Amino acid sequence: MTTAEITDSVAVPDDFVSGLEGVVAFTSDIAEPDKGGGALRYRGVDIEELVEGHVTFGNVWALLVDGRFGPGLPPAEPFPLPVHTGDVRVDVQAGLAMLAPIWGYQPLLDIDDDTAREQLARASVMALSYVAQSARGIYQPAVPQRRIDEAKTVTERFMVRWKGDPDPAHVAAIDAYWVSAAEHGMNASTFTARVIASTGADVAASLSGAIGAMSGPLHGGAPARVLPMIEDTEKSGDARTLVKGILDRKEKLMGFGHRVYRAEDPRARVLRATAQRLNAPR
């Protein structure tokens, strides 16, 4: 009997749902995507209000995790990236894994909520630090810590650690992007992190798993496939032919549509307004 024949002979349960579509795994008061109206709220606050009010990512993190605005994420500790492979995802996952024994992270099963929250904040901001250090490149000298300490927000510290002397407009753009993308309910990376955390694993393991899911081209990796399309369109001036070619080849057209929103994705609206406010070239 072939594998296909074995598969065909297996009885499919009546309650089987492919891809878990429509299955309710948990409820949340944190994020409220409005499918019909094209809005996204964090604990009742619209993301447009957050971005227009210049509420920084660090404070939004506190709103999401603690349910109120506050200091949120602490500054990342001056811990150098232990692994430089040239691949940001690999570097960050390896760095987080190595932090767990150094910082003495214990399984979530064995610690209380306050300790878990402290460890989550510490590891989360170190993940940002590692992204910046990795993106800076293997052969670039590290930015002096005294320069990083001059930055006033978590986002600015990230940009200084990455670029050294970042354009303030770029800092504002990244902050708006992070605020807009900070939370979205049951997405793939959140689901992955929750599954890992539910086993009692430590915070670093949960974050590392989420990063792995986020890197996928059908999740957080999608923008990386949109940018070449934009660049090709700028060169050719012919977006129609580019899109038609992708569809004719039956390839995935990245960056269009969303499974949740039936109206405009509110994050796109916020980021478009941010780009216009900052006089972005495109």
Q: Contact, 253 vs 240, CB < 8 A? A: no
Confidence band for 262, pLDDT divided at 50, 70 and 90: low
Reported as half-sphere exposure (CB side, CA atoms, 13 A), residue 134 has a value of: 22
pLDDT in tens, 184-206: 888 889 999 999 999 999 999 99
**Domain residue limits at 59:** 31-214
Same domain, 105 and 62: yes
What pTM value is reported for the model?
Answer: 0.85
Number of structural domains, the chain? 2
Could you tell me if residue 93 is inside a domain? yes
16-25, 35-44, 199-208: range with lowest mean pLDDT: 16-25
Same domain, 94 and 183: yes
pLDDT in tens, 41-71: 999 999 999 999 999 999 999 999 999 998 8
Quick one: what percent of the chain has pLDDT higher than 70? Answer: 92
Question: pLDDT at position 64, please?
Answer: 94
User: In sequence order, which ranges of the chain are alpha helices (DSSP H)?
Assistant: 3-9, 47-52, 57-66, 88-103, 113-136, 145-148, 154-163, 168-180, 188-198, 203-214, 222-236, 239-248, 266-277
Could you tell me if residue 191 is inside a domain? yes
Dist. CA 196–CA 192, nearest whole Å: 6
Could you tell me if residue 234 is inside a domain? yes
Could you tell me if residue 22 is inside a domain? no
Same domain, 53 and 191: yes
Question: pLDDT at position 258, please?
Answer: 64
What CATH number does residue 81 fall under?
Answer: 1.10.580.10
Highest mean pLDDT among 9-18, 55-64, 216-225, 262-271: 55-64
